Amino acid sequence: MKKILHLIKDKRPLQVRLLVLFLILIYLPILFNVFFIQRQTLNAVKDDKLMNMEASLENTGTSIDQAAEDIAQLLEDRSNQPGIQKGVEDYSLLPEQARENFHGYMERQLSDIENASPYLAHSSVFSLEGDHFAGEDIWHENFTESPLYQDMMAEALAEGWHFLPPEEAFTSSYHEETSSEDFPHTFLYVQSLENLEGTSPVGYVVSVIHQESFQELYQNVFLGEGGSLALWSRDNQPLSRDGVESFPSEIQGRVFENQDFQTFDAEGEPTVFYQLSLDSFPGQLTARIPEASLTQSIEGPLRLNLYLMIFISTLISIWILVEIIIISNMATEKEKAHYRLTLSEELNEKLRMYKHDFSNHLQIIQGLIHLGHSDRALKYLNKISGQGKMIYDTYEIGIPELEVVMYDAYMQGKEQGIEVNIQTMELPSTLPINIYDLVKGLTNLIKNAFEAMEAYPEKDRSLSIEIFEENKAYVFKVSNNLPLIPSEDRERIFEKGFTTKKKGDGFGLYMVRSLIEKHQGTVDLIVNDGGNHFYLRIPKEK
């Protein structure tokens, strides 16, 4: 670190200060861009989950409305049966035996009504003359004093849905079955019963809803972790206590003010509420879900991806600073100036490439989310995260400069469609060689391998880099499968000025051998059917 600070403060290497400034201008925007797009992604996921919740509520509301319509249609059809109409109208005129027979007939008809719908618990018929027909007398003695019964007898009761407290509706046996603790209100459907001519009412068909069965229409809808649904009457009374405890009384009024997503503090955490008014059933369906659970499934992968990007960006920064130090230690001022110029151009291009690559990944993720493909976005994130972890594990050599070389080779191979296989080992933190000379030699071998394969199809090209120990030496092996170096060139390839390229000065491999031999190392070439294999050997001890 002291050496880096010294280079920055030094007045002579102006390029060093410019490169550090350029690094700051690129590295910081990358981090800000990552944070910004992460927030955008979380918001997009949240919006997508809310849209799915809205769609689930609409589908559930449609099911409830359809069940309500089916009940209304069933009771209307049965109330128009001539046998029921005529029997209720003339019941007071029938002899005793005929009345008993009619009671049996009505029991069968009412039983058929109850069996025709899973949402009906009990049905009864009340005549305007005070007669009552039912398979079981479930009505509480106080029912005849209830407003609903009084309106019925006064022919003032409107057809449709009505609500009663249990103590006004049922006897104790039925009351225990329906449990007033679970269902604070009894709701029933009332259908007018006309005479045969259809000119005047003779009574009413009253069907009590089986609330546990009706509750199954919305109770098992999954909204997310911690989410729940509740059904309320138009006057904001819950039809079931199940789930109502998660709707604090102090916010119920505000929730019911409009049909839109609203966020309130419930049970100590921000909670999203949404209300849907029903058409055929006189009530509204209200959903709640903790706001944090909307993005819970993707926050982990996003956070891991963020850490990996920060790690890679930091690795690139370290590599750039290492390159700066290498430049400052070059043998001659002429070589320094030339190498700095070349390095600056390469670094600029690589930084643009990495920034563009990061932005592409993040834009793809954001696009998938906005198009509603949250599952694919998650798979894409996991793939990137796994790739980043593989890179990190593979390059754990113990010497940052060499780790950067491995990473750069991997990324270059990925861009050019070349299969790059890397096998390394953990090395000591210091080697018996100037790390700059080693990096420069190894980088030159890798660069030559990539350039040699440029003219060949992607599917046929492969490059391998290996680091291992052999006979008290550290071996760095670089192999490419295409093209094989001709036998007549193998002896001369390390000579100064010799090159097989159309453009080149023939200085690269000569420089590599010179740098390595300066530290009592060797550079050898072996060519076989598997390709060209360059071996760079460094003795463990000089």
Asked whether the predicted pLDDT for residue 171 surpasses 90, the reply is: no
Token pair for residue 244? 């109502």
Residue 420 exposed, middle or buried by CB count within 10 Å (0-12, 13-18, 19+): buried
Give residue limits of the domains in the chain: 2-46+296-539, 80-204, 222-294
What's the mean pLDDT in 233-262?
Answer: 63
Asked whether the predicted pLDDT for residue 366 surpasses 50, the reply is: yes
State the pLDDT at residue 533. 95
Cβ distance 245 to 192 under 8 Å?
no
Residue 534 exposed, middle or buried by CB count within 10 Å (0-12, 13-18, 19+): buried
Cβ distance 75 to 205 under 8 Å?
yes
Among 189-198, 256-265, 431-440, the minimum mean pLDDT is found in 256-265
Greater confidence, 275 or 249? 275
- Give residue for tokens 């003032």: 156
Asked whether the predicted pLDDT for residue 109 surpasses 70, the reply is: yes
Q: Return the number of other C-beta atoms located less than 10 Å from residue 334's C-beta.
A: 9
* Cβ-based neighbours of 528, under 8 Å, separated by 6 or more: none
Alpha-carbon distances of 116 from 67, 71, 159, 316, 521, rounded to whole Å: 12, 9, 20, 72, 93
Among 50-59, 249-258, 287-296, the minimum mean pLDDT is found in 249-258
Q: Return the number of other C-beta atoms located less than 10 Å from residue 142's C-beta.
A: 11
Q: How far apart are CA 534 and CA 441, in angstroms?
A: 11
Asked whether the predicted pLDDT for residue 442 surpasses 60, the reply is: yes
Q: What is the pLDDT of residues 149-169, one digit of tens each?
A: 888 888 888 899 888 765 555
State the pLDDT at residue 73. 94
Token pair for residue 89? 């109208």
Give DSSP secondary structure letters for 182-217. Answer: T-SSEEEEEEEEE-TTSSSEEEEEEEEE-HHHHHHH
State the pLDDT at residue 193. 92
Q: How far apart are CA 250 and CA 474, in angstroms?
A: 73
- Which pLDDT band holds residue 370 (cuts at 50, 70, 90)? confident
Among 61-75, 448-462, 521-535, the minimum mean pLDDT is found in 448-462
State the pLDDT at residue 5. 46
Whole-prediction pTM: 0.51
Q: What is the pLDDT of residues 319-337, one digit of tens each?
A: 776 776 666 555 445 554 5
Token pair for residue 204? 């009413």
Beta bridge partner(s), residue 531: 528
Amino acid at 165: P
Amino acid at 521: G
**Helix ranges, 371-434 (H):** 374-394, 400-416
Asked whether the predicted pLDDT for residue 262 surpasses 60, the reply is: yes
Greater confidence, 4 or 56? 56
Asked whether the predicted pLDDT for residue 446 surpasses 80, the reply is: yes
Torsion of CA 221, 226, 232, 236, to 10 degrees: -160
Asked whether the predicted pLDDT for residue 71 surpasses 90, the reply is: yes
Greater confidence, 502 or 128? 128
Asked whether the predicted pLDDT for residue 210 surpasses 60, the reply is: yes
Q: How far apart are CA 15 and CA 490, in angstroms?
A: 39
Q: How far apart are CA 227 and CA 225, in angstroms?
A: 6
Greater confidence, 193 or 277? 193
CA-wise closest residue to 139 among 178, 88, 174: 174
Give DSSP secondary structure letters for 479-506. Answer: EE-SSPPPHHHHTTTTSTT---SSS--S
Average pLDDT over the chain, rounded to an integer: 77
Distance, C-alpha 529 to centroid of its chain:
48
Cβ distance 226 to 293 under 8 Å?
yes
Asked whether the predicted pLDDT for residue 421 surpasses 70, the reply is: yes
- Strand, coil or helix: what is 284? strand
- Strand, coil or helix: what is 227? coil
What's the mean pLDDT in 49-73?
Answer: 88
CATH of 222-294, picked from 3.10.20.30, 3.40.50.300, 3.30.450.20, 3.30.450.40, is 3.30.450.20
CA-wise closest residue to 294 among 41, 35, 60: 41
Half-sphere exposure of 380 (CA within 13 A, CB side): 15
The yes/no answer on whether domain 2-46+296-539 falls in CATH 3.30.565.10 is yes
Q: Return the number of other C-beta atoms located less than 10 Å from residue 8's C-beta.
A: 15
